[in-house]
Amino acid sequence: MITLTERTDGLVTLRAPGTGIVRFHSPRALCGELEVFEAGEAIGDVDGIDVVASARGFVVRTFAGHGTLVGNETPLVLFRTA
């Protein structure tokens, strides 16, 4: 499990842990209209390497589309911790 982030609270940019195809995942549980991820839960993966939530929170914006090829450390999502 690898998470590349710029910081751990507030708004966090989650980055690709390597080069490959990005695949996003749904959270284990829905919280109202938000898709809330728990700390350590996989938000997605890049060629099988998980990109995990650094804390409980939700995706604010995606920078890469599901199924697209991304490079190492490419920004994937803007994540807000709760």
Which CATH number belongs to the domain containing residue 29 in this structure? 2.40.50.100
Note whether residue 3 is domain-resident: no
- The pTM for the full model equals 0.81
Q: How many domains does the chain have?
A: 1
pLDDT in tens, 21-55: 999 999 987 777 778 999 999 999 999 999 999 89
**CA distances, 52 to each of 5, 34, 39 (Å):** 10, 17, 7
pLDDT score for 9: 61
What is the span of the domain harbouring residue 20?
11-81
Higher pLDDT, 1 or 30: 30
Closest by alpha carbon to 55, among 47, 43, 44?
A: 43
Q: Residue 4's pLDDT is what? A: 52
Which CA distances in Å does 69 have to 14, 34, 37, 76, 81?
Answer: 16, 26, 24, 11, 26
